[in-house]
Amino acid sequence: MIGISTSKIVCDTNTLVSGFLWRGNEYRLLSAVLERNAVLFCSPALLSEFVRVLSYEKLRPFVSDPAHYAEKLESMAVFVHPRQTVDLIQQDPSDNRVLECAQAANADYIISGDEHLLKLRSFEGIPILTTKTARARLGI
């Protein structure tokens, strides 16, 4: 059950990867999710993208088993199944999956470091914030 004061968030893939692999702002954001100070939403498309990115050659020194991280994400996120397709970002169509998830989740915030998403500033009234800004706004 989501409390009234618990913010619903959707993170882009790179934010999730950074949060799982390194100890910066993204890690602290995901820690807040584990502490139930925020609720993370994900979709099957975002999970698939997450596993694909974790399989990149440049991440192999850090990730021996992408499925392990996928299981962790599945255990901490609430999954939604977007029913509407968004085709707003032409330069990187995979960014549209983040918007679809946020729309389906009725999210309070989209958290991203991606220039295409950040340039929008908001989507259907949902603010798009950097991790640092989101942490300040959420008080985490």
Assign domain 7-138 to its CATH architecture: 3-Layer(aba) Sandwich (3.40)
Is 39 a residue whose pLDDT tops 70? yes
**Residues contacting residue 29 through CB under 8 Å, at least 6 positions apart:** 9, 11, 15, 19, 38, 111, 131, 134, 135, 140
Q: Can you give the pTM of this predicted structure?
A: 0.94
Q: What is the pLDDT of residues 48-97, one digit of tens each?
A: 999 999 999 999 999 999 999 999 999 999 999 999 999 999 999 999 99
pLDDT interval class at 5 (50, 70, 90): low
To the nearest whole percent, how much of the chain has pLDDT over 90? 94
